[in-house]
Amino acid sequence: EAQVTQNPRYLITVTGKKLTVTCSQNMNHEYMSWYRQDPGLGLRQIYYSMNVEVTDKGDVPEGYKVSRKEKRNFPLILESPSPNQTSLYFCASSLLAGDYNEQFFGPGTRLTVL
Amino acid sequence: GQNIDQPTEMTATEGAIVQINCTYQTSGFNGLFWYQQHAGEAPTFLSYNVLDGLEEKGRFSSFLSRSKGYSYLLLKELQMKDSASYLCAVRLTDSWGKFQFGAGTQVVVTP
């Protein structure tokens, strides 16, 4: 089944404890992206990747890191999480970044930072 | 700066038509997408416009006017399962990979 998977789905952690949220897609998509979703603010883009080893900042990159060492995986790293990073996180992928290319979203990761 | 506006909530009756407006002010425009998001689920793609005009897809249609910075999503013959949040998203010209989303419009369909 073609899909985007994220792990973990739910995570409660404490301030300052490094964590990684994994994202993987099995559709051979070139483009991948991370978003956070907060009430009243909608989806905000954190980082995106146009292809392997190519990453760029979205609108809210502070406090996050990403890497794209292989096509299928795009992990999101929080080196020192803070309570303001409590949010619902979505990973998405599309075949290419340009033109008509819909994004397929993962199921989401609900993160709480205490 | 960038700004994408949508109404917060709309209510309509089963079988009726609802139009969700989206206005945008961005430094560069390179396509507009509509996504549907049911509560507790991931967004799913509905439609895409890059040229002015109407795109029709079954019960859903989307319209774009680039000169006015305006789009709408039209949902016809509303069904209970259409109760969801509808997200307007603009792709920016400074990068094919950069997107900005509106806050979403919650549509409530009543019997």
What are A14-72's pLDDT values in tens digits?
999 999 999 999 999 999 999 999 998 899 999 999 999 999 999 999 999 999 999 99
Residue A95 has pLDDT above 60, yes or no: yes
Calpha distance B42→B85 (Å, rounded): 11
Residue B42 has pLDDT above 50, yes or no: yes
Calpha distance B59→B17 (Å, rounded): 10
Q: pLDDT-based confidence at B1, cuts 50/70/90?
A: very low
Q: Best residue in B2, B86, B98, B106 to probe A by mutation, most A CBs within 10 Å? A: B98
**3 state DSSP class of B82:** helix
- Chain B CB within 8 Å of residue A38 CB: no
For B92-110, write each residue's pLDDT tens digit: 877 778 999 999 999 999 9
Q: Could you write out the three-class secondary structure of A83-99? A: HHHCEEEEEEEECCCCC
Distance from CA of B109 to the nearest CA of A (A): 21
Residue A92 has pLDDT above 60, yes or no: yes
Whole-angstrom CA distances from B74 to A57, A107, B24, B54, B71 are 33, 26, 17, 10, 10
- Chain B CB within 8 Å of residue A42 CB: yes
Task: Fill in the DSSP letter of residue A73.
Answer: B
